[in-house]
A and B are shown apart, each in its own frame.
Chain A
Amino acid sequence: DAGVIQSPRHEVTEMGQEVTLRCKPISGHDYLFWYRQTMMRGLELLIYFNNNVPIDDSGMPEDRFSAKMPNASFSTLKIQPSEPRDSAVYFCASTLNRVRYGYTFGSGTRLTVV
């Protein structure tokens, strides 16, 4: 099993540009989560999906952020337009329908907005 796969690993972009982060969950996992990690705020849940349907997006900071999960094997997190305060590491995680198994995290995307 290749685990949760995220791309790109690093992204440097200019303020105002659109950024798209990608995630492929573990096959068979039906929950997918997007987290943001910063020194100041720690690990924040942005949004999560169950069976490709967004369940809770209350953590999405503002309308500039959007996430989709068109099928069970792919999700995107988009920031448009990007701002320097969006600089962070963005993690995707997936799990089976019983969270007692714990999450499997991807390697993250380090986003730098200059």
Chain B
Amino acid sequence: AQSVSQHNHHVILSEAASLELGCNYSYGGTVNLFWYVQYPGQHLQLLLKYFSGDPLVKGIKGFEAEFIKSKFSFNLRKPSVQWSDTAEYFCAVNPSGGYQKVTFGTGTKLQVIP
């Protein structure tokens, strides 16, 4: 079975700082990868996804993620964070082809200080 690790549980940044949240997965085959964001008191929303092609994926609100197959990683980045980016971020993975179950990481809480 696949698993997802998000090593940073809580990140605090000042506005305009650059962001990188780590995500590593374990699965031997081809995968689909996702980042979701959950703003305080709200539901999870899809931020970006990767399933094939260019390993650098651009999502909404200036976020991007890079799939590095050799490192089993899918790190989320943003060059300059805003206070409104304060939220919890979840990485998720599922094997490509047929089986639908998605495994979520434990999440990283991002706090952006004005």
Contacts and interface: CB of A to CB of B under 8 A. Distances in A.
Given A42-B106, A99-B32, A56 B45 contact: no
Contacts of A91: 43-44
A50 B98 CA distance: 12
B42 A99 contact: no
Interface string B40-53: 00111110010100
14 contacts: A42-B106, A42-B107, A43-B90, A43-B107, A50-B100, A55-B100, A99-B100, A100-B51, A101-B49, A102-B36, A103-B46, A105-B45, A106-B43, A107-B42
A8 B7 CA distance: 34
A34 interface: no
Interface of B: 32, 34, 36, 42-46, 49, 51, 90, 94, 96, 100-102, 104, 106-107
B32 A105 contact: no
B107 A100 contact: no
Contacts of B94: 99
Interface in A80-94: 91, 93
Given A43-B107, A91-B43, A100 B32 contact: yes
Contacts, number: 44
Interface of A: 31, 42-43, 45, 48, 50, 55-56, 91, 93, 95, 99-108
Contact of B43 (A31, A45, A101, A107): A107
A95 B46 CA distance: 12
Q: Is the interface of A mostly helix, strand, loop or mixed?
A: strand
B101 A45 contact: yes
A75 to B, nearest CB: 16
A31 B100 contact: yes
Contacts of A102: 34, 36, 46, 49
A31 B101 CA distance: 10
Nearest to B50: A100
| Among A42, A56, A91, A99, residue most surrounded by chain B Cβ atoms (within 10 Å) | A99
A45 B43 CA distance: 15
Nearest to A43: B104
A107 B41 CA distance: 9
